[in-house]
Chains A and B, each alone.
Chain A
Amino acid sequence: MIKEKFIIAGKKFKSRLIVGTGKYKNMSECAKAIKLSGANIVTVAVRRVNISDKNKPLLMDYIDPKKITYLPNTAGCFTSDDALRTLRLAREIGGWKLVKLEVLGDKKNLFPDMIETLKSTEVLSKEGFKVMVYCNDDPLMAKRLENVGASAIMPLAAPIGSGLGILNKTNIKIIREQTKLPLIIDAGLGEASDATIAMELGCDGVLVNTAIAKAKKPFDMALAFKNAVIAGRQSFLAGRIDKVLMGNPSSPKKGII
């Protein structure tokens, strides 16, 4: 098998599956699912410390940031200013420079506001952040993000948490053709085969949260996604056959009795 690396902003990772840490029943369920998924990177949110309930469990007590790369995100931010403020604070917690930018534009469909996203990407890149950018599956916008210094392009498969799978394979393929940056499908996956499809389209990785956390059996689904990403990557590297309209027998025609 071909040995190949998954590199983001100069850092090597073993697993091409990135998982979110939200929506789990509790921290221990989250930690176990992450372990089973084999992910080396997890997304985390930045929120106020609960000052009245100090006994609330801390994420860092369950997922060791020395072993798993924390990818702070700006989930819930609707303006560039909010996103910048959030990520500057995230960096302050412990030197995190690799971040996930997500600036939403609509509370119902949760589509990214690409104008605010583009602005934020430029500012953050200039400040030395390595920005992995959640974006629409729009090749032109993806190009513009790359031009202002994005470290990874993360187009949605479908709206966040929708579970609809990859809605526009053509656009994902076009983005793949045009960029050498890590291309990671972020948001909207519903089942393991969606991850395989993403990898077969030539994506470098996938980011999954809801599909694992809200599955009936999150641990089994974490494992399924792990295997699906590996299968999809191997399939992509192996090179699929051409599609033809008519049948082509698998057994030789010669020597038929």
Chain B
Amino acid sequence: MKKTKKIKIKINGKKKSIDNDSYLLKLINDLKIPIKKVAIEFNREIVDKKKIKKIKLRNNDVIEIVHFIGGG
């Protein structure tokens, strides 16, 4: 069986090893993040949620996922 190549990405400041050619949307769904309540930044660019399906992850990609919390 062919072993899937792994890549390293950074999500919210933490390094994570995932399969090469994974989709960003799958990663977010796997993490059980409610996509409607967050904003996503992909390599410093804001992700248009309508187009997120097309985004594939590559080595060294940097993802930030933010939401609202209590603040003054």
Q: Which of B11, B33, B64, B71 contacts A44 (CB 8 A)?
A: B71
Q: How large is the interface on B (under 10, 10 to 19, 20 to 34, 35 or more residues)?
A: 20 to 34
Q: Judging by beta carbons under 8 Å apart, are A51 and B14 in contact?
A: yes
Query: Mask for B4-44, Cβ within 8 A of A = 1, else 0?
Result: 00000001111000000000000000011110111111000
Q: Judging by beta carbons under 8 Å apart, are A27 and B70 in contact?
A: yes
Q: Judging by beta carbons under 8 Å apart, are A20 and B72 in contact?
A: yes
User: Knowing A49-B12, A93-B39 touch, does A59 contact B68 (C-beta < 8 A)?
Assistant: yes
Q: Which residue of B lies closest to A73 (CB)?
A: B71
* Distance in Å: Cβ of B15 to nearest Cβ of chain A: 12
In the docked arrangement, what's the CA distance between A91 and B12, Å? 19
A160 near B: Cβ within 8 Å?
Answer: yes
Residues of B within 8 A of A47 (CB): 66-69, 71
Q: Judging by beta carbons under 8 Å apart, are A89 and B46 in contact?
A: yes
In the docked arrangement, what's the CA distance between A120 and B40, Å? 21
Q: Which residue of A lies closest to B33 (CB)?
A: A49
> Which secondary structure dominates where chain A touches chain B?
mixed
* Distance in Å: Cβ of B64 to nearest Cβ of chain A: 7
Q: Judging by beta carbons under 8 Å apart, are B12 and A51 in contact?
A: yes
B65 near A: Cβ within 8 Å?
Answer: yes
In the docked arrangement, what's the CA distance between A133 and B33, Å? 31
Q: Which residue of A lies closest to B67 (CB)?
A: A49
User: Knowing A58-B37, A60-B37, A89-B39 touch, does A48 contact B64 (C-beta < 8 A)?
Assistant: yes
Q: Which residue of B lies closest to A46 (CB)?
A: B66
Residues of B within 8 A of A3 (CB): none
Q: Judging by beta carbons under 8 Å apart, are B71 and A93 in contact?
A: no
Q: Give me 9 A-to-B residue pairs in the complex whose CB atoms sit less than 8 angstroms apart, sorted by A's number.
A: A44-B71, A46-B68, A49-B12, A51-B11, A59-B67, A60-B68, A89-B66, A92-B39, A187-B72
Beyond A20-B72, A45-B70, A46-B66, 16 extra complex contacts between A and B, CB < 8 Å: A21-B72, A44-B70, A45-B69, A45-B72, A46-B68, A47-B71, A48-B64, A48-B66, A58-B37, A59-B68, A60-B37, A88-B46, A92-B39, A92-B40, A93-B68, A94-B37
